[in-house]
Amino acid sequence: MSQPLPHLPKPEFALIRIEAPPEVPVQVAVDLGETGVPSKLIGYEYRPLSELVLLEGIGERGLVAFAASGLFGRIGVDVATGHVVYLPMLESAVAGHVNSDLGAFNRCVAAVIARFPFYADSDEETKYEVAKELRALIAGADGTALERDGFWEMFCADVEMGDYSDGDVASSSGP
C-alpha cells in the first residue's frame, strides 16, 4: 500500500552541500561541492539526497544523482557532459535534459521559488499567464531548459494545470 508523501515547508532558496562517497568521480564531486545544490524546490519535484550516488550505465560515463524527483526519479549531473539531467525511474536507461549545467539549474530553481506564490485562484487565464511567466524566467536563466517533455516544461505544464495552487502548497507546508 502506498503511503502519502510528507508535508513540505513553503520554499526558500538556499544552497547546500552533499557528501560524496569515494566512487563519485572527483571532478563532479568538486563541482557539486563548490557550486552546491538547492535545498528544495516547490512540491515533490525535487528533494536533495543525503549523499551523492553514482548511477553507472547511464550516458557515456554515468550519472551522479543529487536529488530525488517524484516517487521514483532522480536528478543528477551527467559525468561526461556536466549537464543536469532527469531520470524518471532508477531502471531508466535514458536521462532527459534539465539544464546545461549546475549553475543554470540553481538559477532556474531560484527564479521559480522567487516567483512563488503562483496564483491565489484557479482561474484558467491566471494559470496560463503564470506558466508563461515561469517559462520566460526559466528560459532567461538557461536557454536550454525548456526542452519538449523536459523537466522544466513539465513543471510549467503542471503549474498551468493548477497543480501548484497556493492552497495546495500551503496545505502541504506542514505545521
Are 71 and 140 in a shared domain? no
Are 94 and 124 in a shared domain? no
Lowest mean pLDDT among 39-43, 62-66, 149-153: 39-43
Is 98 strand, coil or helix? Answer: strand
Are 95 and 24 in a shared domain? yes
Nearest-10 Cα torsion for 46, 49, 55, 61: 80
10 in a domain, yes or no? no
Provide the domain limits for residue 132.
105-171
What's the total number of domains in the chain?
2
Residue 171: per-residue pLDDT: 40
Does residue 149 carry a pLDDT above 80?
Answer: yes
- pLDDT band at 19; cut points 50, 70, 90: very high
Q: Please, which residues have CB within 8 angstroms of residue 137's CB and are 6 or more apart in sequence?
A: 108, 111, 112, 115
159 in a domain, yes or no? yes
115 in a domain, yes or no? yes
164 in a domain, yes or no? yes
